[in-house]
């Protein structure tokens, strides 16, 4: 029996998140997802008169492709992908990832080559198509979230089918405030960091580019970051797990990087990918009321209510600070009391304490008002 939530999600993605129009081309890439999802997406595209182009991937097969590919093969593959992407007006990626650690044993140099060679395709997709990226619930993700499969499916659809128009309206006050802010200070356990966001646009994300969604992002002014940040959310990067990452910044650059779980050498190798990898391309505040606990999946964790993420690597074109890199790693700090608390200050005024907004115009973004 077909789950009606799959049809609802597919139609929301095509009609609202992507807002596909008649005659437009959309590339849909799925990994380890059920056929039913792809067929419902194709039906939703056809209803609006669009053209769906489908790539169905398997994560184990994809791993072997990367492991076995020569540099010449990677370059040809990237050229073919770029040619295809340039004919698309929209892009949708849905990944289930039966094993989130699938790529953990790929050689670091091979992964660096793959990231570097495919970066132009990613940049074109981000900057020139209307895109949306999301996950698909499966037992592996449920295990990461410490839930039964059924409970995780219920959580997934609740988070992904949130009232995003209401969230978008509520986020406008935060966008306005961030656009008027110069100095930001973040304070939490083993964290005290300052930076400027002056004249860099704030962008609301409320159901369009990521599902689940719920953040407003901008970027720090290059060279303005000073201090220490200790992320309390475990994270995966290309199959390698890290926890309690601690970064020390001087004049905007990561000068010291350590972690509690994971290999410090591998951690620093990521930050040595290129010159921009030790600088930050995004600062964002998360507020999805249904996403409350980390599950080692960045797409969910960066939206956790009461969190921030502070992202080494590439900036976005709509919030540019000039940083370019082959990485964009959303590292998350949760500031709710059960995670040690924390504060956000804008121009020496307390904006959020222990995960809750404390200024009147922003209280509409607290969980009790969005849930």
CB-count burial class (<10 Å; 0-12, 13-18, 19+) for 326: buried
Cα Rg of the chain, angstroms: 20
Distance between CA 39 and CA 160 in Å, rounded? Answer: 19
Distance between CA 171 and CA 167 in Å, rounded? Answer: 6
Residue 162 Cα distances to 14, 90, 166, 367, angstroms: 16, 22, 9, 12
Tens digit of each residue's pLDDT (9 = 90 or more) over 215-268: 999 999 999 999 999 999 999 898 889 999 999 999 999 999 999 998 899 999
pLDDT for 97 beyond 80: no
What pLDDT is attached to residue 208? 82
The model carries a pTM of: 0.83
CA 11-126-142 angle, 5° bins: 55
Distance between CA 356 and CA 351 in Å, rounded? Answer: 9
* Encoded tokens for 3: 């789950």
Q: Would you tell me which CATH number, out of the four given (2.160.10.10, 3.40.50.10240, 3.30.70.20, 3.40.1830.10), belongs to the domain 4-160?
A: 3.40.1830.10
Band (pLDDT 50/70/90 cuts) for residue 38 is very high
Contacts of 122 (CB under 8 A, 6+ apart): none
Domain assignments of the chain as residue spans, ordered by start: 4-160, 164-370
* Encoded tokens for 70: 């020569």
pLDDT for 98 beyond 90: no
CB-count burial class (<10 Å; 0-12, 13-18, 19+) for 330: buried
Checking DSSP bridges between strand 183-188 and strand 343-346, what pairing results, if any?
antiparallel
Question: Half-sphere exposure (CA, 13 Å, Cβ side) for 176?
Answer: 8
Tens digit of each residue's pLDDT (9 = 90 or more) over 114-169: 989 999 999 999 889 999 999 999 898 888 888 999 999 999 999 888 899 999 99
Band (pLDDT 50/70/90 cuts) for residue 332 is very high
What pLDDT is attached to residue 314? 95
244 close to 344: Cβ distance less than 8 angstroms: no
What pLDDT is attached to residue 336? 98
């Amino acid at each position: 029996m077909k789950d009606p939530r799959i049809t609802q999600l597919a139609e929301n993605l095509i009609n609202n998140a992507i807002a596909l129009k008649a005659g437009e081309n959309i590339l849909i890439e799925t990994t380890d997802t059920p056929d039913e999802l792809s067929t419902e997406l194709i039906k939703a595209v056809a209803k609006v008169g669009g053209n769906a182009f489908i790539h169905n991937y398997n994560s184990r097969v994809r791993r072997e492709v990367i492991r076995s590919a020569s540099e010449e093969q990677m370059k040809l593959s990237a050229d073919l992908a770029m040619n295809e992407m340039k004919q698309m007006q929209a892009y949708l990626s849905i990944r289930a990832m039966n094993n989130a650690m699938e790529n953990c044993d790929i050689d670091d140099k091979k992964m660096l080559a793959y990231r570097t060679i495919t970066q132009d395709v990613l940049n074109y997709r981000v900057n020139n198509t209307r895109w949306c990226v999301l996950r698909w619930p499966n037992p592996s993700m449920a295990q990461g979230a410490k839930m039964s499969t059924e409970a995780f499916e219920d959580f997934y659809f609740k988070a992904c089918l949130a009232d995003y128009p209401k969230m978008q309206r509520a986020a406008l006050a935060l966008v306005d405030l961030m656009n008027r802010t110069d100095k930001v200070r973040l304070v939490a356990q083993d964290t005290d960091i300052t930076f400027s966001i002056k004249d860099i646009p704030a962008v609301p994300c409320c159901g369009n580019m990521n599902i689940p969604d719920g953040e407003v992002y901008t970027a720090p002014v290059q060279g303005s970051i000073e201090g220490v940040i200790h992320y309390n959310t475990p994270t995966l990067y290309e199959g390698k797990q890290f926890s309690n990452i601690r970064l020390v910044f001087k004049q905007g650059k990561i000068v010291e990087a350590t972690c509690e779980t994971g290999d410090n050498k591998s951690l620093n190798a990521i930050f040595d990918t290129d010159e921009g990898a030790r600088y930050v391309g995004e600062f964002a505040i998360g507020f999805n009321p249904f996403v409350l606990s980390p599950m080692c999946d960045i797409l969910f964790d960066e939206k956790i209510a009461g969190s921030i993420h502070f992202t080494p690597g590439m900036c976005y074109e709509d919030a540019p600070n000039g940083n370019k890199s082959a990485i964009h790693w959303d590292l998350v700090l949760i500031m709710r009391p059960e995670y040690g608390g924390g504060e956000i200050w804008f121009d020496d005024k307390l904006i959020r304490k222990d995960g809750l907004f404390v200024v009147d115009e922003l209280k509409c973004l607290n969980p009790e008002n969005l849930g």
